[in-house]
Amino acid sequence: MEIREQDNCRIMFDPALLAEDPWRCFEPDFWQHQQAVLGSAKGRGTTWFVRGERVDMALRHYFRGGLFGKLVKDQYWFKTWSACRSMAEFSLLQHLVERGVRVPRPVAARVCKSGPYYRADLLTEKVPDATDLVARLQQGALSSEQWQLVGEMVRRMHDCRVNHTDLNAHNILLDSQEQIWLIDFDKCSIQRGDGWQEDNLSRLHRSLVKEVDKAGIHWQESDWQQLLSGYRRSSSD
């Protein structure tokens, strides 16, 4: 991993994954000029999917949500470099990758200071040919074995002591090989103690119940029991 600083900005990147200029790769215009934009997705901001020389990537700028986000769009209070949101998410993803949890590999993170505030960006490897769990369940039901694999991956994350504070059905992906991926680790952290694991599971359960009415997904309570079976089985492996 390399770290560079310039004009109140710090970047951290993996040179094995990023062949492009790390100072330019956080700007959508750079990728547009290279004709390397694969697509985009709208959320709190726009996530750009780009084709790099070594890997395809997702580029995200950090935006605030909620009422406060209407007043202060993308600035955060600076404490330390490592505590900045893109740097923290980069390090957490690296922690999970090294321990065999299937998450996007972190490619590069940027933090730019302006007085007591900062703005942040993150590049991660794009999960190839992946569909989020909601879209997948709109097409049809998962098998018992697939639900157990979801539970196993969540348990593997928990065994790394990672508290995913926004674990919902949109943050679980299935790729073309039916492998399970976990995404979106902004504001997540390594957590000690107990209790937060059940909170993660409860949040995921609520999101599945909600999507039955909202998105018409093929899901029932027996599927949840299969997920829990895989979660508990993984703990005894």
Tell me the domain boundaries of the chain. 2-125, 131-236
Which residues are part of the catalytic machinery?
A: 166
More confident: 84 or 71: 84
Over range 204-216, report the average pLDDT: 97
Pairing of strands 2-6, 9-13: antiparallel
pLDDT at 71: 61
CATH architecture, domain 131-236 = Orthogonal Bundle (1.10)
| Per-residue exposure over 115-142, b if at least 16 CB sit within 10 Å of its own CB, e if not | eeebbbbbbbbbbeebebbbebbeeeeb
d(CA 184, CA 182): 7
Considering the domain 2-125 in this protein, what is its CATH number? Answer: 3.30.200
Mean pLDDT of the chain: 94
Dihedral angle computed from the Cα positions of residues 56, 98, 42 and 22, in that order, rounded to the nearest 10 degrees = -50
In one letter, which amino acid is 9? C
Q: What is the pTM of this model?
A: 0.92
pLDDT at 69: 47
